[in-house]
Structure 1
Amino acid sequence: MKTIKTDITCRLDNLPWTFFHTKFVVALGITWILDAFEVVIVSVVLKSMSKSLGLTTFESSWLVSSFLLGALFGAFIFGYLADKYGRKKIFFITLLLYSLGTFLTGFANSFEVAILFRFITGLGLGGEFSAIHSAIDEFVPSRFRGRVDGFITASWNLGSVFASLTGLYLLSNLPEDKAWRYAFLFGGILALLIVFLRLFIPESPRWLISKGYIEKAEEIVKSLEKKYKVKPVKKECEIHIFEGSLKDSIKIILSKYRGRFLFGMALSFTILTTYYGFITILPLVITNQYNLPTTEIPKLLLYASFGGLLGGLVVSFLTDYLGRKITGTVIAMLSMMLSTFFLFSSDIYTTVFIYSFVAYSFASVAYVSAMEVYPSYLRATAIGILSVVGRISGVLAPPILTYLSQIDYKYSILGLSFFWLVGFLAFFIWSKFGIEAKGKSIEEIS
C-alpha cells in the first residue's frame, strides 16, 4: 500500500475549538437525536398505528423489525460507500433517505406499504451512523475528540425525551388515526430541514488524503487556519493511500486490526443488548414486579432519559480527562452492579434514574473507543460492520430477557447483568493490552 507524508493531519489537530467546529458537530451529531426520536416515537404511536391500519400483533412487531433490518443493511452498505466515495456525499444521501422514509410512513395505508417505508427509514438512518462518526472523528482536534463523541452520544436522550413529549402531545390533541401520521410527517420534515445545516460542511481532509486528493485537503485546512488566524505547525505524519475493494477492507480489518475489531464487537454488543433489553423489560417485566399501572411507563422512560443525558455529559468529559480505559472499565462494572438493584430495591423511580445515569452513559465512552482506532481509509467500513453486530444483538436481547422472565423474574435481571459483563471484560482486557487514545491523533492510534 502506498504512503505519503503530510502535515495536514497535524494541522487539523492543532486547530483551536472554533465556531466552525460547533456548527459542524451540531449539523452531523443531530443524527443521534433523530435516531432516538425514530426509535421512541414508534413505541409511542405503535398501538394507534396498528389499530388504524388493522394490523395483528405479529404484523405490528414487523413495523419495528423492518426498521432494524433496514438499519442493518444501511450501516454496512453506506459504511463501505463512505470509505469509497467520501463522507459528505453519503451523509446527504442517507439523511434524504431517512427523511423520505419516515415522511412517507405518515401516508401508509396498508401493512406492506408501511413495512417498505419503515425499511427505507432504517436504511437511511443506519447509513448515517458510519459516515457521520467517521467525519466527526476525522475532523475534530484530537484533544476534544472524546468529549465531543461522548456529548453527541448522550444527545440520544434528548431525542428520546423529545419523542415522548411529541407523541403524548399528538395523542392528547388529535384523533388516534391522525396522531401517528402527524408524528411521522413531523419527523420527515425535521430531517429535511437538517439537510440545509449540512450544506456548509466540507469533505473530511483525512479521507481526501487517504484517496490522494492532497490539494483539496490542503485547501480546506488552509481556509480554516486563515479564518481563525492559526499558525500552521511543522510536523508530518505518514498516511496510507488505499485503492482496494470492500473485500480488501474487510480482510485488513479481520487481520491487521483483529484485536480492535473484537473489542469493538464486544462494546457494540453490550451497548445495544443492555439498552434494548432494558427498555423492553422495564415496561413488560419490571413494572409488573413493582405492581405499577401502564400510565407510569412514560414517566419511568423520562426518568431514564434524563438520567442518561446527565450521565452521558459527565462521562464525555471523563473520557478526555481520565482516559478511555479507566472510564469504560469503571462504567461497565458499575452498570453490571446497579442492574442487580432491580432485584431488591423498593423505590423503582430512584433506581431507574441512578441505573440510567450510569448505564446509559456507557455509550459515551464505548463508541469513541471502538471507532477511533482505525485508519481513515477503512474507518466507515469498520463502523458499519460493528453497527450491524450491535443491531443484531439489539434485536435478540428483548426476546431473550423476556423469555428468562417467564421462568423467573430474577433470571431476566441476571441476564441483563451478563450483557454488562461482556462490556466489562472487553474494557478490562483492552486496558491491559489495548491503546489509550486519550489526546492522541488518529494517525498515532491507527
Structure 2
Amino acid sequence: MKDKVEVEHISPYSSSSNQSVQSDDANDLFNEKPDLSLASIKHYFATRIPNLLDMPVYHQEKKWYQVLNPMTGLREMSTLDWHFYFLGFLAWSLDAMDFFCVSVSAPEIATTLQVSVTDITWGVTLVLMLRSIGAIIFGIAADRFGRKWCYIAVCGLFIPVEIGTGFVQTYQQFLGVRAIFGILMGAMYPIAMITALEGQPTVARSALSGLFIPGYCFGYILAMVFYRAFSGTYKEGEGWRSLFWFSAGLSVLLCTWRACIPESPDFVQTREKKKRYNKSNKTTFIDKSVLQTLKTEWLLFVYLVLLYSGFNFTTHGAQDLYVTMLTKQFGVSLNKKTVIVVVSNIGGMIGGSLMGNASELLGRRLTVVICMLFSGAFLYPSFFNADQNWWAYVFLNGGIIGAWGISSVYLVETVNKANRTLISGLVYQLGNLVSSASATIEARLGERFLLEGASDDMFDYGKVMCIFCGAVFSYMIVCIILGPEKFHNNIDVSNKQRVQVEEIDSDEDINSKSRV
C-alpha cells in the first residue's frame, strides 16, 4: 500500500470499494453500467445477506461510542454548511406542514365543502400523484441551472397556492389548488434534500440525514399545533382557512434567507464538469448527461422506485388517516389529539436522529431492517384502543421515521453525481405515486369494516391500518435486503473530502462484484 495516496474515500466494505479517483469527467459524473451476466446476478443475490451482516463497526478503528458521537462529524461543518443544511431542513419541514394541513383538518374541510372525508382524502391522493411532475421539471432545472433559484421559485410559488387553498368555496376548487401544490411539493423534496446534504463532510452525513427526514415530523407538529391555534378563528368550523393563510407567510422567510446565500459550490463544480462532458460529445443546448444517466442508472432507478414505494407506504399508511381514526372511531378530543400527534412526531424525530447515526455502525440496510422489525412490534397496541395505547404509536412512529432517517444518505450515496437532484426526486416521487392511494385505500377498506354495534358511518379504521402497515413493513424488509449499499461513497464532485487509502484485502473483489 502506498502511503498518503489521495483518493476518493469509499469504505472497504462498500459495494463499490474498488473504485479509484479518475480525472475523466464521465467516470466522475456517472456510475458504471450494471453487469447483467448470469454469474454476476447469481453472485449478487448470494452476497446480499453476508454483505448485510458485514457491519461497518467491524471495520472501524474507533470505539463504537466514538462513532456514535455525532459531534465528531458536525464539528467539521463550516458556517456555510450549516446555512445549507438548515435551509434544506426548514424547506422540507414547511413542505410537510403544508401537506399535513389537509390531513389534520380533513373532517372540517369536508363539512365546509359539504363532501365526505373520503372525498377529501382524494385531495391528499391527488397531491401525491402529481408530485412526479414537479420532480421532473425542477429536478432537471436544478441540475442544469442551479439549486438556489429553483429553491426560491418553489418556495415563492407556495405562497399563492396556500392562500388560494384558504379561499376555496367548492370541492372542485379544492382539488385544483391541491393539484398545483402536488407539483410544487414534488419539486421541494429533492431540492431541499440536496441543499441540505450535498457537499457535507462524509463523517457528518449519517447524523445530518438522521436529522433531515424528521423535518417531516416537525412539519406535522407545526400543522397540528397551528391547526389547534387557528381552530376558533375566521368562522365557526372554518379555522382551517386561517391555517393555510398562515403557512403561506412562512415561505416568504425562506425565500429571503436563500436569496442571501450563494449557489452550492458542489453544483458549480458539477456544472463545469458537465459542460466539458457535453462539449466533448459535441452538444451545447442539450444536456447529454441525462441520456447517459438513463444508460447507467436504469436498473438502480427501478429498484429505488420499488424501495421508495415501500418507504412512502409506511408513512402514509400509518399517518394519513391516524387523526381521522382518533376523531371518528375513538372520539378523542381536540386537545388530546394535539398532544398525541405532537408527542408521536417528537418520537419520530428522536427515532430518525438515533437510527440515522446508528447506521454509521450497522450500515444503511441493516438499520432499516431493524427499524421495520421494531415498528412491527408496536402495530397491534397502536391501532387497537388507540385512545389509550397512543404511547405505542409513539414508538411505532419512531421506528418508521428512524428508517426514513437513513433514506436520504442511502439515496445520495447511491445515485450518480451528474443528475442527483433529478434521480433523487423522481424515485422518491414515483414511490409516492405508487403509494398515493394509501389514505383512500384505507378509507374504502375501513368502510367495509363497521364497528360492532356502531352506526353505519363508524368504521374500524384501526384494524385496516394495522393489517396494511404489517404488510408494508414485511415488504420493506425484503426490498432493502435485496438492494445495494455504497457506504461512505464519495458524493463530492469538487473532491474536498480526501482521506488516506486503506489497504483492501481480497474481499474487495467480492464486494465490487456484488453490484448489479
Give the TM interval when normalised to the shorter protein. 0.7 to 0.9
Could you tell me how far 1:96 is from its partner in structure 2?
0.9
Contact 2:379-2:396 at 8 Å conserved across structures: yes
Q: Please give the alpha-carbon distance, in whole angstroms, between the structure 2 residues aligned to 1:352 and 1:111.
A: 32
Matched, 1:141 2:141: no
- Could you say if the C-alpha distance between residues 411 and 159 of structure 1 is closer, same or farther in structure 2, counting changes exceeding 3 Å? closer
Matched, 1:333 2:378: no
Which residue in 1 is equivalent to 2:457?
Answer: none
- Could you say if the C-alpha distance between residues 201 and 345 of structure 1 is closer, same or farther in structure 2, counting changes exceeding 3 Å? same
Number of residue equivalences? 414
* Structure 1 residues 195-224: Cα deviation after superposition (integer angstroms, max 9, x where no partner): 111123322333333332799xxxxxxxxx
User: Which deviates more from structure 2 when the two are superposed, residues 396-405 or residues 413-422?
Assistant: 396-405
Which residue in 1 is equivalent to 2:397?
Answer: 356
Matched, 1:398 2:439: yes
The letter for the 1-side match of 2:345 is: S
User: Which deviates more from structure 2 when the two are superposed, residues 326-335 or residues 26-35?
Assistant: 326-335
Contact 1:161-1:305 at 8 Å conserved across structures: yes
Identity of aligned residues (%): 19
Q: Please give the alpha-carbon distance, in whole angstroms, between the structure 2 residues aligned to 1:286 and 1:60.
A: 17
Q: Please give the alpha-carbon distance, in whole angstroms, between the structure 1 residues aligned to 2:465 and 2:106.
A: 25
Contact 1:307-1:354 at 8 Å conserved across structures: yes
Q: Please give the alpha-carbon distance, in whole angstroms, between the structure 2 residues aligned to 1:111 and 1:313.
A: 39
Q: Please give the alpha-carbon distance, in whole angstroms, between the structure 2 residues aligned to 1:42 and 1:343.
A: 21
Select 2:224's aligned residue among 164, 179, 188: 164
Could you tell me how far 1:163 is from its partner in structure 2?
1.2
Matched, 1:436 2:486: yes
* Structure 1 residues 99-145: Cα deviation after superposition (integer angstroms, max 9, x where no partner): 22112322334444433332232222221112222233322122212
Could you tell me how far 1:305 is from its partner in structure 2?
1.1
- Could you say if the C-alpha distance between residues 282 and 56 of structure 1 is closer, same or farther in structure 2, counting changes exceeding 3 Å? closer
Alignment of 1:91-240 (within 5 A): 91-176=151-236, 179-212=239-272
Contact 1:97-1:120 at 8 Å conserved across structures: no
Contact 1:150-1:364 at 8 Å conserved across structures: yes
| SS of equivalent residue, structure 1 residue 171 | coil
Between structure 1 and structure 2, the one with the greater Rg is 2
| SS of equivalent residue, structure 1 residue 176 | coil
Could you tell me how far 1:98 is from its partner in structure 2?
1.4
Contact 2:274-2:289 at 8 Å conserved across structures: no
Matched, 1:28 2:91: no
Matched, 1:422 2:475: yes
Q: Please give the alpha-carbon distance, in whole angstroms, between the structure 1 residues aligned to 2:286 and 2:83.
A: 32
Q: Please give the alpha-carbon distance, in whole angstroms, between the structure 2 residues aligned to 1:180 and 1:157.
A: 20
RMSD: 3.8
* Structure 1 residues 281-304: Cα deviation after superposition (integer angstroms, max 9, x where no partner): 534558888x55465544432332
Q: Please give the alpha-carbon distance, in whole angstroms, between the structure 2 residues aligned to 1:315 and 1:241.
A: 43
Could you tell me how far 1:386 is from its partner in structure 2?
0.9
| SS of equivalent residue, structure 1 residue 175 | coil
- Could you say if the C-alpha distance between residues 393 and 337 of structure 1 is closer, same or farther in structure 2, counting changes exceeding 3 Å? farther
| SS of equivalent residue, structure 1 residue 143 | helix
User: Which deviates more from structure 2 when the two are superposed, residues 73-82 or residues 56-65?
Assistant: 56-65
Q: Please give the alpha-carbon distance, in whole angstroms, between the structure 1 residues aligned to 2:444 and 2:116.
A: 21
Could you tell me how far 1:424 is from its partner in structure 2?
1.3
* Structure 1 residues 9-42: Cα deviation after superposition (integer angstroms, max 9, x where no partner): xxxx999312221122112221221122112222
| SS of equivalent residue, structure 1 residue 436 | coil
The letter for the 2-side match of 1:3 is: D
Contact 1:88-1:202 at 8 Å conserved across structures: yes
| SS of equivalent residue, structure 1 residue 139 | coil
| SS of equivalent residue, structure 1 residue 140 | coil
The letter for the 1-side match of 2:416 is: P
Contact 1:63-1:118 at 8 Å conserved across structures: yes
| SS of equivalent residue, structure 2 residue 378 | helix
Contact 2:161-2:180 at 8 Å conserved across structures: yes
Contact 1:66-1:115 at 8 Å conserved across structures: yes
User: Which deviates more from structure 2 when the two are superposed, residues 278-287 or residues 38-47?
Assistant: 278-287
Contact 1:308-1:357 at 8 Å conserved across structures: yes
Alignment of 1:49-88 (within 5 A): 49-55=109-115, 60-88=120-148
User: Which deviates more from structure 2 when the two are superposed, residues 75-84 or residues 198-207?
Assistant: 198-207
* Structure 1 residues 339-382: Cα deviation after superposition (integer angstroms, max 9, x where no partner): 35557789512211111121222111123212332222111111
- Could you say if the C-alpha distance between residues 281 and 190 of structure 1 is closer, same or farther in structure 2, counting changes exceeding 3 Å? closer
Q: Please give the alpha-carbon distance, in whole angstroms, between the structure 1 residues aligned to 2:86 and 2:278.
A: 28
- Could you say if the C-alpha distance between residues 46 and 292 of structure 1 is closer, same or farther in structure 2, counting changes exceeding 3 Å? closer
Could you tell me how far 1:43 is from its partner in structure 2?
2.4
* Structure 1 residues 256-280: Cα deviation after superposition (integer angstroms, max 9, x where no partner): 2244324422331122111111124
Unpaired runs of at least 5, structure 2: 1-22, 29-72, 450-459, 496-511
* Structure 1 residues 163-182: Cα deviation after superposition (integer angstroms, max 9, x where no partner): 11111111135533652222
Select 1:319's aligned residue among 336, 359, 364: 359
The letter for the 2-side match of 1:418 is: A
| SS of equivalent residue, structure 2 residue 355 | helix
Q: Please give the alpha-carbon distance, in whole angstroms, between the structure 2 residues aligned to 1:246 and 1:5.
A: 16
* Structure 1 residues 231-273: Cα deviation after superposition (integer angstroms, max 9, x where no partner): xxxxxxx999996999966654554224432442233112211
- Could you say if the C-alpha distance between residues 39 and 240 of structure 1 is closer, same or farther in structure 2, counting changes exceeding 3 Å? farther
Matched, 1:386 2:407: no
